[in-house]
Amino acid sequence: MTSTTVTMGKGCWLGFDLGGTKMLATVWDGKFKSLGSERKKTKGFKGAQTGLERMMDTIDEALSKADRSKEGLAGIGVACPGPLDLEKGILIDAPNLGWRNVPLRKELGKRYGCPVVIANDVDAGVYGEYRFGAGRGARCVVGVFPGTGIGGGCVYEGRILRGRKSSCMEIGHIPLIPDGPLCGCGRRGCLEAVASRLAISSAAAAAAYRGAAPVLLEKAGTDISRIRSGVLRASIEGGDRAVEEIVRLAAQHLGVALAGVIHLLGPEVVVLGGGLVEALPELYLKEVSHAVDRRIMAGFAGTFKLATAKLGDDATVKGVAAWAMEEIASRVAAGS
């Protein structure tokens, strides 16, 4: 990647993951060897200003652990949930954090005196898998991450596929079932409404309530918030066939949607990741693969592989740092 080599080796790079219940900052050298990391909770504070201060504290502590100063930073990449203005570097809305219209590029750039790039957190994770993990070196990589929702991303010829100002690849909101279950986006029948962990947990809680999932009932009751990926795995391993069928059906729905994505983009690699896939990798690969194979055109057979993500938590924070390097190098090369 010629544009990347423009800045390779000049200073260190910081990746910041703002998603989930914890924020994570990791400092990388020019070859993306980890130099130091720091985590903090994303909950327990009010307002974007306090959140920004916690972000900066996390970055400062990561730099301290890496034995680096802010003057040594070549750039910062921030992976964010929610709608973003990628051109201006603004986090438009992060409902889980209560943040609106936060100028991350401006504020972090002012504090650390280096270029700042923001990216959608799923896009960053897919880019990480493209550069360093399961999709390394492929011309086109599609990533799908079933969790509370279903995130998707695509790297095409080394670039994150995106809209003019914002991210795209909202795989979770592909219409799948006409007039189906209500989705969190307000529409009906989206993939996310029938195949996310939230949808699975809801159906599993109903099965437990009916007495069809005794192991799950013992471990988590019918509280959806307690029925997470590890509990679902334990329930299936304990013999709850009803829960296994619920998860298999969700994976099949995912495969149906992916068949359409494969027809549109022709990826070499489709990476499956997230907590559900990590907990039940064999089940997911089998069911998604069978559902895809039954629906793709003959000409697409054998042109791609399904793989599970390799980088775990590092995918996003490493991916966004590498994407910052790529974006900044591209700007330098373009003279902007």
pLDDT band of 5, cuts 50, 70, 90: very low
pLDDT band of 116, cuts 50, 70, 90: very high
pLDDT band of 331, cuts 50, 70, 90: confident
Residue range 309-332: average pLDDT?
A: 94
pLDDT value for 99: 85
pLDDT value for 7: 44
Q: Which of 57-71, 96-110, 295-309 has the lowest mean pLDDT?
A: 96-110
What pLDDT, in 10s, does the model give residues 69-109? Answer: 999 999 999 999 888 999 999 999 887 777 889 999 999 99
Which two three-digit tokens encode residue 113?
Answer: 């005196």
Q: Domains of the chain by range and CATH?
A: 4-121+313-334 (3.30.420.40), 134-308 (3.30.420.40)
Residue range 199-227: average pLDDT?
A: 97
Q: Which of 20-24, 44-48, 228-232, 310-314 has the lowest mean pLDDT?
A: 44-48
| Mean of the per-residue pLDDT values of the chain | 92
For residue 6, pLDDT over 80 is answered with no
Q: Which of 49-58, 199-208, 300-309 has the lowest mean pLDDT?
A: 49-58
pLDDT band of 229, cuts 50, 70, 90: very high
pLDDT value for 95: 72
